[in-house]
Amino acid sequence: MGEDMSTAILDERKSQIHRIGEGELDIACNRESLAGAVSQRACVFCGSRVVLYPIADALHLVHGPIGCAVYTWDIRGALSSGPELHRLSFSTDIQEMDVIFGGERKLEAALDELIDRHAPKAAFVYSTCIVGIIGDDLEAVCRKMTERKGIPVLPVMSEGFKGNKREGYLAACNAMFKLIGTGDTDGISPVSVNILGDFNLAGEIWIIREYFRRMGVEVVANVTGDGRVDDIRRCHGAALNLVQCSGATLALAKMMQEEYGTPFLRVSYLGIEDMADSLYQVADFFKDKSPGIVERTQELVRSELETLMPELARYRKDLEGKRVAMYVGGSFKAFSLLKAFRHLGMKVVMVGSQTGTKEDYEELAQIADPGTIIVDDANPLELSQFIKEKDVDLFVGGVKERPIAYKLGVGFCDHNHERKEALEGFVGMLNFAREVHSSVMSPVWNFVPRRANHAPGTTEARKGGSHE
């Protein structure tokens, strides 16, 4: 590690960074962010909001300052096939006088008005930092309004100072679990699933539901992309839970397994291998209940790949050998992305995540190439230094990482929850390849200081490109 690299990484952070091939993996994770390190993580409230937000026929009310509601307004590219109440970001707009005298009466009045005006199927009320400090009894107000209005009014205990968005995921799961088991399960097929941890970014859940329809599998509830309150209330009647974003909804799957005996599988719909494997896992689970499901699944995968593979080959010609750095929220994405980039002939040289566990990083170390940097809970300075050190051609991240890539003259691919491009499923893999190709091969990178007069990713650029 060069001198500039050693100064970029604080001593307290070095235990959260590992280079594959340099000793045994002993990475620190699942810890609070280092104060002052400007972590890329978000707060507890944000974590709960991004999980619950796509429930489209529910009222979402932020009990706190207006800035909290603004920060999370339309935070996901989550589409709805029907109601769009979720896209209205309501707030109690806590002011100084509310801090002094309490905000419970204001919250009650807001719920009273909003429920009458919008007639939601349920209401989620989010507690923010200031509410936790002044001690408003959110749960008491929600109980009172549930009795008065006749719909579930659910407190989401998501005060930001409790930690980071991992705790927000748990707060969201606790709120949803209060809904589950309150609906009628009559008519649910024995060959049925709930889709957990998919948020219908750019309509992705519709792609996955179509695959299951072709296999003969009923989808009872989307939790939470294009979600409906009544579906969640009866989802305990499904035979199987499929958990994609394990950080966001694995806790809910475990609650349902303990309470209702519903088994779950961890799946991924990103990339060719993981998409196919997920479908095969479901087919294998139901093969005794649904004769022919394995054959239907094999035909589905075969027909999709016949269309996809020739298209990928065209993009691979240009992308072969290009270098990639990625920083994602849930580490499950990194596994699928790494495999997807190998189909494009690209080499992943840095992988980071906000919420990965030691087991996740050990699995990454098994499948990544020697020399790959693994980093937990990074900050902008570290990410910038790793991008320059590895001289990458593409950075994959979210809205907070995009400026880093563009300032360094590197192509960028948005793989976070704000994106508007569907990247799941076999068709999503083609969209992904197309987006990566258009970004990496853009001629604009010939004009940035780091790679002036060199095509992006060429040998000349690697040997002589400036890192100023």
Fold classified for 44-177 = Rossmann fold (3.40.50)
The 10s digit of each residue's pLDDT in 376-406 is: 988 899 999 999 999 999 999 988 889 999 9
Which ranges in 125-263 belong to alpha helices (H)? 129-134, 138-149, 165-177, 204-215, 229-233, 246-260
Of residues 132 and 8, the one with the higher pLDDT is 132
The mean per-residue pLDDT over the stretch 180-191 comes to 97
Quick one: how many helices (H) and strands (E) in the chain?
A: 19, 14
Fold classified for 3-31+308-464 = Rossmann fold (3.40.50)
When the pLDDT of each residue in the chain is averaged and rounded to a whole number, the result is 89
Is residue 227 left, alpha or beta, with left meaning phi > 0 and alpha meaning psi from -120 to 50?
Answer: beta
The mean per-residue pLDDT over the stretch 315-340 comes to 90
* Superfamily the domain 192-304 falls into: Nitrogenase molybdenum iron protein domain (3.40.50.1980)
Q: Is 90 exceeded by the pLDDT of residue 104?
A: yes
Confidence tier at 460 by pLDDT (50, 70, 90) = very low
The 10s digit of each residue's pLDDT in 444-456 is: 988 887 655 444 4
Domain with CATH 3.40.50.1980 in the chain: 3-31+308-464, 44-177, 192-304
The predicted pLDDT at position 38 comes to 58
The 10s digit of each residue's pLDDT in 254-271 is: 999 999 999 999 999 999
Q: How far is CA 159 from CA 3, 142, 155, 249, 257, in A?
A: 40, 16, 11, 19, 27
379/360 Cα distance (integer angstroms): 20
Q: Is 60 exceeded by the pLDDT of residue 345?
A: yes
The predicted pLDDT at position 300 comes to 98
Confidence tier at 161 by pLDDT (50, 70, 90) = confident
CA atoms within 13 A on the CB side of 174: 15
465/468 Cα distance (integer angstroms): 9
The mean per-residue pLDDT over the stretch 335-343 comes to 93
Tokens 């002094």 — which residue? 100
Q: How many C-beta atoms lie closer than 10 Å to residue 47's C-beta?
A: 29
The predicted pLDDT at position 37 comes to 60
Q: How far is CA 195 from the centre of its chain?
A: 14
The predicted pLDDT at position 327 comes to 92
